[in-house]
Amino acid sequence: MKFVRIVSTPLEVLCPCRKARPITRRRLSPNEARFLFRLLTGFTTALLIIAGCDGPGPAEEPNEMVLHHVLSAKIKGLDPGNMRDVYSVIVASQMFEPLYQYHFLKRPYELVPLLAEDMPQISDDLLTYTIKIKKGVYFQADPCFGSRPAGPLPDVKGRELKAEDFVFSLKRIANIKYLSQNWSIFDNKIAGLDEFREYTKTCKSEAAVDYSRQVEGLTTPDDYTLVIKLKRPWPQLCMALADTATAPVAKEAVDYYLSDIISHPVGTGPFRLNVWRRGSYIELVRNPAFRGELYPSSGEPGDAEAGYLDDAGKPMPFADRVVWTVIEERQPAWLLFLQGKVDATVIPKDNFDEVMGGAGELTPAMKQRNIHLKTFKDPSTYWLGFNMAEPVLGKNKPLRSTISYAIDCEKFIELFFNNRHLIAHGLIPPVMPSYNPEIKEKEYAKYDPEKARELLKEAEKIHGGQLPTLKITLPGANTWYRQYGQFLKRNLNAVGLEVETEYMDRPTYLEKVNTKSVQMFTSGGSARTPDAQDFLAMFYSRNHAPGQNKFNYSNPEFDELYEKAQAMLDGPEKRRLYRKMEIIVLEDCPAAFLNHRVAYVLHHDWYKNYKPHAFAYGLSKYRRIDLAKRAAYRELLKTIK
């Protein structure tokens, strides 16, 4: 081995006042070469030792159908009873099934049975729900049932699902020692469940709770019948029973894994956990105990033309494996999508021009790759909220209206969302059945700086002089939030309001909002069900902070309508009440509503049955991969590069 090194003579070292002599070249001596060689060998060996600590996972078989997804945040746990973050719910929903689910194709959204045999029988007083459970549903094989899920002769099934499993799962959420984040769903709703929660306060630990203790509102006349008795009518119960939080969890699994249950999901769904490298990668494989389910045979008009009914009546799931890689940064997710290593992705803001041409179409470069675009309205609304408990804003409606009229929502959406979102003319997003199609004409979200200036004079009269500097609190300090703050500040300055912004981390922000220590705050919400109750509950006076009503808004007329609507089944009358409540809120202006999110998602043409859904998460069972098209894309990439 020969190394060449460029050196100068030591003359300049010997006599620094003299100029260095011209550079000469010489070969390294054998000793020097040996030294360098050893150095490099040592370094390489160290790398190889580290590399050898962790072997590679199995490579993908050519005919194996694998779904490749991206999660933009880590998942926190896979215990359905105690998770609320959307990423954990997405993954857990492929393994756990609740009683009901939303129809995959039909719009407006419709509930259909999943683990239930049929929709519930509801008593005339709307208080008793009788639900028949499907027979022949099994939990996956797991050591908690004494079964062997791996090895040369693995067990395929665990134990059969019984109605008692639902009772156990609901009692577990009520157990105060379990500290479930989902208790608010059932708080003060089911007869006897709150008393059970009181009892659990007396227990020393989560494991010490006696689950055989009777709860009046949760009974099982037989192994396949569940009866739920409510304290008062709660028409959203079926929607709650479509939430993954209410999916049955086997008591054997809870007792076996104890607090480690978050890492050992034991469900009845189409997939089961295979690999979970916390924080980076999660892989599910087909659950051999899955009873089987058929792809829907009907949908909404246009579904057949879009290819959504190509697999009608076929058994699901189609995929052999489902893989999620946690990628929090946009660039790697985007590059992996272009490499064909991810099936679908959102469009990163910085790559929007690369993807979208004029007239809302994809650019030729995207079309060349056979990439498809799906857009869908998200059930979300974002706003600049006002703390009504704060004296300056709370008692001055013209001031709140001034702020609302001063914000140019169209410009906001253009600057921050590449014109992708919709202006929020009201509180309820367009995708909800109770959305008021005439809300735009009422001009609550109109950008009108002239009117804002007029209202400001009135606001100053009410205040009794010049208004003090107002403060906007934002839940982040990154560039995006600073730009957002600057935008709001500039808009409000333009009509004569003095405004300052404060940026902070989300926990501090939440604490300030919950303790009513903010004046104005940026926030937003997304509905979990097609019922707009989630949005309206944010303005109910009994939900003041730290509850859902962060605006600390109170209006007796609104409260009365809210309580009335709570007990009504979905229908035109209930929707009329919802719209009336929305108008009351818009008139009182406890927030300046800004935008509704519209999702832009790209997917490769091999990714089939990708119909966006606003409320369902257990969708991997519907997805199918066209393996020939995926292989063709890899060939196409060679020509593109």
Partner 1 sequence: MSTYIIRRLLYTIPIVFGVLLLTFVLFILVGGDISVEIAGKGATQETIDEIREEYGLNKPLFLSWDSQFINHFKNSLTFNFGRARDREPVIDKIKRGLGPSLALTVPIFFGVVIISVSLALVAAFVRGTVWDILAVVICVAGMSIPYLSFILFGQYFLAYRWGLFPVFFSPELRMAQYVALPVLIGIAAGLGRNLRFFRTVMLDEMRNDYVRTAFAKGLTVRRVLFKHVLKNAMIPIITRVVLAIPFLFLGSLLLERFFGIPGLGYLMAEAIGSRDYFVISAMTYISALLFVVFNLITDTCYSLVDPRISLE
Binding mask 5-34 for partner 1 (x = CB under 8 A): xxxx-x-xxx-x--xx--x-----x-xx--
**CA-wise closest residue to 95 among 264, 344, 325:** 264
To the nearest whole angstrom, how small is the minimum distance from the Cβ of residue 546 to partner 1?
6
635 binds partner 1 (CB under 8 A): no
The piece of 284-292, 322-330, 364-372, 598-606 that touches partner 1 (CB under 8 A) is 322-330
To the nearest whole angstrom, how small is the minimum distance from the Cβ of residue 611 to partner 1?
28
Residue whose CB is less far from partner 1, 617 or 622: 617
Binding mask 45-84 for partner 1 (x = CB under 8 A): -xxx-xxxxxxxxxxx-------------x-xx------x
To the nearest whole angstrom, how small is the minimum distance from the Cβ of residue 506 to partner 1?
7
Residue whose CB is less far from partner 1, 207 or 335: 335
To the nearest whole angstrom, how small is the minimum distance from the Cβ of residue 133 to partner 1?
29
The piece of 332-340, 381-389, 432-440, 496-504 that touches partner 1 (CB under 8 A) is 332-340
Total number of residues that touch partner 1 (CB under 8 A): 79
39 binds partner 1 (CB under 8 A): yes
Residue list 509-548, contact with partner 1 (CB under 8 A):
510-511, 514, 543, 546-548
208 binds partner 1 (CB under 8 A): no
The span from the CA of 217 to the CA of 219, in Å, is 6
- Tokens at residue 506, please? 């989300």
569 binds partner 1 (CB under 8 A): no
Report the chain's terminal Cα–Cα distance, integer Å. Answer: 37
The span from the CA of 216 to the CA of 229, in Å, is 7
To the nearest whole angstrom, how small is the minimum distance from the Cβ of residue 336 to partner 1?
6
Q: By the 8 A CB rule, do 55 and 244 touch?
A: no
The span from the CA of 281 to the CA of 258, in Å, is 24
The piece of 113-121, 160-168, 180-188, 431-439 that touches partner 1 (CB under 8 A) is 180-188
Residue whose CB is less far from partner 1, 79 or 97: 79
Q: What ranges in 251-382 are assigned the alpha helix state H?
A: 251-257, 330-338, 352-355, 364-368
Q: Kind and range of the H or E element at 599?
A: strand 598-604
The piece of 91-99, 171-179, 216-224, 309-317 that touches partner 1 (CB under 8 A) is 171-179
Residue whose CB is less far from partner 1, 19 or 292: 19
41 binds partner 1 (CB under 8 A): no
Residues in contact with 177: Cβ distance below 8 Å, sequence separation at least 6, in sequence order: 200, 203, 205, 206, 208, 209
- Tokens at residue 281, please? 């990668």
Q: By the 8 A CB rule, do 244 and 92 touch?
A: yes
Residue whose CB is less far from partner 1, 175 or 396: 175
346 binds partner 1 (CB under 8 A): no
Report DSSP state, residue 493: H
To the nearest whole angstrom, how small is the minimum distance from the Cβ of residue 105 to partner 1?
30
- Listed in order, strand segments (DSSP E) in 304-408 are 315-316, 321-326, 344-346, 371-377, 380-386
Q: By the 8 A CB rule, do 597 and 372 touch?
A: no
**CA-wise closest residue to 520 among 494, 483, 552:** 552
Residue whose CB is less far from partner 1, 337 or 447: 337
User: What's the one-letter identity of residue 215?
Assistant: V
If you search the block for the tokens 């009181």, which residue do you land on? Answer: 198
Cβ neighbours around 222 below 10 Å, total: 10
**CA-wise closest residue to 432 among 532, 573, 582, 526:** 532
If you search the block for the tokens 């009410």, which residue do you land on? Answer: 462
The piece of 222-230, 328-336, 396-404, 415-423 that touches partner 1 (CB under 8 A) is 328-336
343 binds partner 1 (CB under 8 A): no
Residue list 256-275, contact with partner 1 (CB under 8 A):
259, 262-263, 275
To the nearest whole angstrom, how small is the minimum distance from the Cβ of residue 569 to partner 1?
23
Q: By the 8 A CB rule, do 547 and 538 touch?
A: no
Answer for which of 45, 121, 123, 331 binds partner 1 (CB under 8 A) is: 331
